[in-house]
Structure 1
Amino acid sequence: MDPERHRVIKFIMRSLFKIFFLGMIVLNTSCGFHRYSNALVPNELRQITLDTKDPYGSLSRSIRKQLHLVGITIIDPKRIEYSVKKVLNRTKSSMVNEYNGIDIQSNNSDNIPSLRISSSNDPEATVSIFRDGKTAESQIILQVSAELSLGAQKLHTLNVYVYRSFFNNPLKALAKDAEQEIICQEMCDQAAKQLVHKLLFVYADKFQKNKNKVNIKTSAPELHSINNQNLVKNNHTEITGSPNNKIGSIR
């Protein structure tokens, strides 16, 4: 093979490799793609129950999708109760087993956090009008309110607001309806993202505060007992005194 031709082929291969390598770096860094990480999800929030009035609506589907992406499993409380009852029925039932079964069932429901979608509405507000008085541009506001609770304890209320502008073209009614459906779906996805992000940070904050309170309560009796021991030692030394003082007092 001609050495000059060999050098040309080698130069082309190196150039293609550099272009491919630089292209992969640009795609991974500048396109904004980032994998979801479940590092921020506490172990206590790996499982959650979702309570909503419309379980098959757009908002509920978006919330389930976002919870699945961050690594949170949605559990049906009815299935938990059924599984506990099924395990108890396999064993020989007795009064003690039935009583223990109730405790297990209540503990499972108390240890799993619950997210309840209390309300969601999307009112429209007129932003601008045509000369004939018809609405030209309207603003859609999606308001979502949810309650985070752990058993019977209500931890926090989550509120999410999403705003979008929508142009009303009376000449294209079908296109307007299709565009409005797409906008509403995008708003539901954005509201679900904000709700899940707030859920993670709020639950982590509340759980850390509760944990600190428990640590303070458990450490307080220990400090109290140590202080009592020190007081007893001091009183004992004051009563007994030194041996020289005892001899002097006897004389």
Structure 2
Amino acid sequence: MFRFKQKLTQASFILLLSSLLTACGFQLRGEYSVPEDITAISVTSYDKYSKITRLVKEQLRLSQIELVTPNKDVPNIHIIGETITDRTLSLYQNTRAAEKEVVYEVNYRVTVPDLGAKDFTATMTRSYLDNPLSALAKSAERKLIEDEMREFSAQQMMRQMARLKTEIQEFEEKQHLEESNSNTQDNSPS
């Protein structure tokens, strides 16, 4: 009987906690989405076969956005370019680099018909130890870090696209207000 009450108490607590989290609008970190107005999008890139282009397309598919060919009536993501730079953070006593920081940056433009275009930058930074005694492992680690940074940048791009939601809403409100003002002026006696 005690175990039954304990299980019932736990279930009640979990139910209460989940209803509170749902009521406050809480979402898990991976739940950023592209605005609902965008159901289809085209992706263009400086290199259509690059890893970042493939990752962005994959993220869009996961968001259930249809990928279409570029058209003036369809929103577009244009990946302008990506850069990878590194700098030395610390040195060994013999002045060789001990720790390096890698900065990955992807620049892209989102164009939405009747709304305009906006440029974005997604930036990721990672650091790693640069052991001169393990050159092969060092290059493999560097490649893994760069791939991980590309993946996180593609996710960051989707989060930045989610911010377009407010800009689209502001544009629609402005357009609605302008239509209301023009209708009011047309109906006013002269």
> What TM-score does the superposition give when structure 1 sets the normalisation length?
0.61
Which letter does structure 2 place at the counterpart of 1:224?
Q
Using the TM superposition, give the Cα deviation of residue 72 of structure 1 relative to its aligned residue in structure 2, in angstroms. Answer: 1.6
> CA separation in 2, counterparts of 1:190 and 1:66?
11
- 1:66 matched residue in structure 2: 59
Using the TM superposition, give the Cα deviation of residue 73 of structure 1 relative to its aligned residue in structure 2, in angstroms. Answer: 1.9
What is the correspondence of 1:1-251 to structure 2 with a 5 Å cutoff? Answer: 40-77=33-70, 109-151=71-113, 154-201=116-163, 203-227=164-188, 229=189
Are the aligned partners of 2:115 and 2:171 in contact in 1 as well (CA < 8 Å)?
A: no
Change (3 A) 1:50 1:221: same
Q: Aligned to 1:218, what secondary structure does the other structure show? A: helix
Q: Aligned to 1:44, what secondary structure does the other structure show? A: coil
Which letter does structure 2 place at the counterpart of 1:218?
E
Using the TM superposition, give the Cα deviation of residue 178 of structure 1 relative to its aligned residue in structure 2, in angstroms. Answer: 1.2
Q: Which has the higher strand share?
A: 2
Q: Aligned to 1:123, what secondary structure does the other structure show? A: strand
Using the TM superposition, give the Cα deviation of residue 144 of structure 1 relative to its aligned residue in structure 2, in angstroms. Answer: 1.1
Segments of 5+ residues of structure 1 without an aligned counterpart are 1-9, 78-108, 232-251
Segments of 5+ residues of structure 2 without an aligned counterpart are 22-26
1:188-235 CA deviation, whole Å, 9 max, x = no partner? 11111111110121x2122222212221221112211343x2x6xxxx
> CA separation in 2, counterparts of 1:68 and 1:35?
18
1:28-56 CA deviation, whole Å, 9 max, x = no partner? 99xxx959658x54343111111112222
Change (3 A) 1:164 1:139: same
Q: Work out the number of aligned pairs and report it.
A: 179
Q: Aligned to 1:127, what secondary structure does the other structure show? A: strand
Q: What is the aligned-residue identity percentage?
A: 22
Work out which structure has the larger RCO, using CA pairs closer than 8 Å and 6 or more positions apart in sequence. 2
Are the aligned partners of 1:62 and 1:189 in contact in 2 as well (CA < 8 Å)?
A: yes
1:92-121 CA deviation, whole Å, 9 max, x = no partner? xxxxxxxxxxxxxxxxx2321000011210
Using the TM superposition, give the Cα deviation of residue 140 of structure 1 relative to its aligned residue in structure 2, in angstroms. Answer: 0.3
Q: Over aligned residue pairs, what C-alpha RMSD do you find? A: 3.1
Larger Rg: 1
